[in-house]
Amino acid sequence: MVYAIPSGMSQANPNISANQPQIRQLDEAAANRIAAGEVVERPSSAVKELVENAIDAQATRIEIAYADGGKTLIRVTDDGHGIAQDQLALALSRHATSKIDGSDLLNIHTFGFRGEALPSMGAVGRLTITSRAQGADSAAQIAVNGGDIESVRPAALAKGSVVELRDLFHATPARLKFLRTDRSESGAISDVVKRLAMAEPHIGFILRDVSGGGEGRIVFRADPCNGDLFEALHSRLRTILGKEFAENSILIDAEREGMTLTGYASLPTYSRGAAVAQYLFINGRPVKDKVLIGALRAAYSDFLSRDRYPAVALFIECDPERVDVNVHPAKAEVRFREPGVARGLLVSGLRHALAGAGHRASSTVADATLGAFRPEQRPTAPIYQMDRPSQSALRVNHMAQQQGFNDSVTGYSGRVEMPTDTVQLDETSHGDHPLGAARAQVHENYIIAQTNDGMVIVDQHAAHERLVYEKLKKQMAQNGVAGQALLIPEIVELSESDRQTILDAASQLAEFALVIEEFGGNAVAVRETPAILGEVNAKAMLHDILDELSDLNQTQSVKDKIEAILSRVACHGSIRSGRIMRGEEMNALLREMEVTPHSGQCNHGRPTYVELKLSDIERLFGRT
């Protein structure tokens, strides 16, 4: 019997409609261009891949040149071990690499290991590789244009490799429309090179803009740094982040459960208005990780207001098998096997270091003060001072100041207050204390103290605010957070996933007196809230907590709110600006500062005191 084939059915396969799309194998050129869309998003992505290859080649000096923001030219020259002539063609094939053993994708010790960068660049631009392997008699060169690979030919090169990428995305012109201005792309290239230079302080880097032709201009230069790792890193950070960061940062060196944290972090008194100077590295690889960013914020939450950000360059080293660096095509993100360990290491390491530097004053303020008397003018970081009442307000409200650190004083005319009990002290008595002995109070807000080798100026309000805050936190840690039971529990409706998320965190929230229970369906009942917060919008608070749990897999929301209240209480309960203090009160304040953690900055990250050495003062008057 013969069956007629119905209209619209394939004769090759009667089960497939003629209009149904069929699966096809992409050709090599198309596959490489798709890979290029993931690996080479913009010129800076190409620079990152090529410089990482140079680092993996054990180069000691790397020079990067670009033109027109990297759109028309990117050239990376290194003095590494090079590529053998018979392997140049293989280097341009997909998934070819010398960096890893294909059977072990977790034990990764190098930067470039995916084997996609070079063929992807060759698919969307004009790529030329010139290289001379160690011990080779001569160099060789290979070129690829839009995916078409030319034959290997002899070339002249003394050592290492030169990779040149011209006319990026000329084979995919639609991609060019999505690139930013030359200036923006140049800035992205500079940022990539600086990040890699931080991770490799013993390697020299030169970045040139050759848009005008010739040798061009040097945009960034970092010579190889000598010394041990910490000395080399500090020197490199001084070059990249500036002298002020180097002078106002603290060394971080911590270890936890096989993970180590090293690097430098800024003092709270040296902060930024945006998170533009936060550099994080995992096993030497620059990354942007939400867990670590959240941990960084938590570590500084006690020292900085929410609108200020620390500057850091921190390096976490661990067994490669404990972190997956292959979760992002450009390797910009990582995934920890034990994110809690990494987060805890960063928080505890930073808090311990900040506690050890609690009495260290920022050099920025002193430098700015002396800078006004120097012939050369240089920019300094902004100094944030506590807002104080006007002089007229001080005169009106002065007599209304509550009693506590001084008795009422009448007839004050704005003169410098000289405490008689300190002026007559023995000249050597101030040397027994780091913050010296009080000698005067000026402008009803600043205490002048004499130390063994200079003087200290203390902001009385900012200093006492930190002292009161630390006392309140200590009391809370000893006695716990007091809760207030709601007369009528507040019922909050959530989605099914949010309900489960908040219930999973219930035990953690209960530590801060926020008690949550199941209610039925997708609702939860809020039965108790922290007493110190007063009347609480439970629904809004739960949604804030859920946002943090979703973003960071942990929540600081309740703790932050409680500490914000404590900070506010400390601010209102501290010595006010404009209050005249007796000598013994000023000295008592200085002694308490010396034994209180983090007394070098107030609750908002501003300095509580600045110190001037005698040599600085003598330099002001030309005595040296």
Each residue's pLDDT tens digit, 1-17: 444 545 554 455 555 56
pLDDT at 28 over 80: no
* Radius of gyration (C-alpha) of the chain in whole angstroms: 32
Q: How far apart are CA 491 and CA 473, in angstroms?
A: 31
Which of the pair, 362 or 369, is modelled with greater confidence?
A: 362
pLDDT beyond 90 at 623: no
Q: Does 306 score more than 80 pLDDT?
A: no
H helices within 261-390, ranges in order? 290-300, 339-356, 363-371
pLDDT at 312: 96
- Beta-carbon-side half-sphere exposure of residue 623 (alpha carbons within 13 Å): 8
Give dist(CA 220, CA 239) in Å, integer.
Answer: 9
371: pLDDT strictly greater than 70: no
pLDDT score for 564: 66
pLDDT at 412 over 50: no
Strands in 257-325 per DSSP E:
259-266, 271-272, 278-282, 285-287, 309-310, 312-317, 323-324
Whether pTM exceeds 0.75:
no
DSSP state of 69: G
Q: Tell me the C-alpha distance between 316 and 363, whole Å.
A: 28
Identify the three-state secondary structure at position 541: helix
CA–CA dist 142, 154 (Å, integer): 9
Least confident of 332-346, 350-364, 476-490, 506-520: 350-364
Tokens representing 133 are: 């392997």
Ranges of beta strands (E only) in 126-194 are 126-132, 139-145, 148-149, 153-155, 160-166
Tell me the average pLDDT across 358-370: 48
Tally: H helices and E strands in the chain: 20, 25
Pairing mode of beta strands 312-317, 278-282: parallel
How far is the C-alpha of 313 from the C-alpha of 232, rounded, in Å?
A: 13
Distance set, CA 319 to CA 263, 285, 314, 338 (Å): 18, 13, 17, 12
Give me the phi and psi of 413, to 5 degrees please: -115, 15
Q: Which of 139-148, 375-384, 508-517 has the highest mean pLDDT?
A: 139-148
Higher pLDDT, 257 or 112: 257
**For residues 251-272, average pLDDT:** 93
Lowest mean pLDDT: which of 34-38, 69-73, 273-277, 587-591?
Answer: 34-38
**Per-residue confidence band for 220, with pLDDT thresholds at 50, 70 and 90:** very high
189: number of Cβ within 10 Å? 27
Mean pLDDT check: name the lowest of 113-117, 242-246, 362-366, 467-471: 362-366
Whether pLDDT at 593 is above 60? yes
pLDDT surpassing 80 at residue 416: no
State the pLDDT confidence band at 98, using cuts at 50, 70 and 90: low
Q: What percent of the chain has pLDDT over 90?
A: 38
The pLDDT-based confidence of 245 (bands split at 50, 70, 90) is very high
Q: How far apart are the first and last CA of the chain?
A: 115
Q: What angle do CA 460, 558, 265 make, to 5 degrees?
A: 55
User: Considering only 25-34, 206-215, 400-409, which range has the smallest mean pLDDT?
Assistant: 400-409
Rounded Cα distance between 309 and 275, Å, is 6
The answer to whether residue 478 scores a pLDDT higher than 50 is yes
Alpha-carbon distance values, 551 to 292, 451, 469, 555, 576 (Å): 11, 48, 29, 9, 39
Taking all residues of the chain, what is their mean pLDDT, rounded to a whole number?
Answer: 80
- Return d(Cα 145, Cα 380) in angstroms, integer: 49
Sign of CA dihedral 96, 97, 100, 106: negative
Lowest pLDDT segment from 9-23, 156-170, 467-481: 9-23
* pLDDT-based confidence at residue 330 (cuts at 50, 70, 90): low
What's the pLDDT score for residue 83?
A: 93
Token duo for residue 552: 């960071």
**CA atoms of 467 and 570, how far apart (whole Å):** 8
Distances (CA, A) of 354 to 248, 300, 456, 601: 12, 9, 21, 11
Are residues 567 and 554 in contact, defined by beta-carbon separation less than 8 angstroms? no
Nearest to 322 by CA among 345, 300, 297, 294: 345
What pLDDT, on the 0 to 100 scale, is given for residue 405? 42
The DSSP result for 395-462, as a single string, is HHHGGGPPSSSS-------SPPB--HHHHTS-TTGGGGSTT-EEEEEETTTEEEEEETTEEEEEEHHH
User: What SS3 state is found at 624?
Assistant: coil
pLDDT in tens, 105-153: 555 556 655 457 888 888 889 999 999 999 999 999 999 988 889 999 9
Average pLDDT (81-94) is 89
Beta bridge partners of 484: 529
Q: What is the mean pLDDT of residues 69-80?
A: 96
Mean pLDDT of 454-479: 86
Show the tokens assigned to 435.
């913050």
pLDDT of 274 higher than 60 = yes
Which residue in 348, 426, 405 sits closest to 578, CA to CA? 405
pLDDT at 18: 61
For 250, phi then psi, to 5°, come to -120, 150
pLDDT greater at residue 548 or residue 266:
266
Say if residue 424's pLDDT is above 60. Answer: no
DSSP collapsed to 3 states, 205-252 = EEEEECCCCCCCEEEEEECCCCCCHHHHHHHHHHHHHCHHHHHCEEEE
pLDDT at 418: 53
Using pLDDT thresholds of 50, 70 and 90, give the confidence band for residue 389.
very low
Nearest of 187, 176, 50 to residue 124 by alpha carbon: 176
Q: Is the pLDDT of residue 474 over 90?
A: no
Q: Render pLDDT for 537-590 as a digit per residue (tens, 0 to 9).
A: 888 888 888 877 776 566 666 666 666 656 665 676 677 777 889 889 999 999
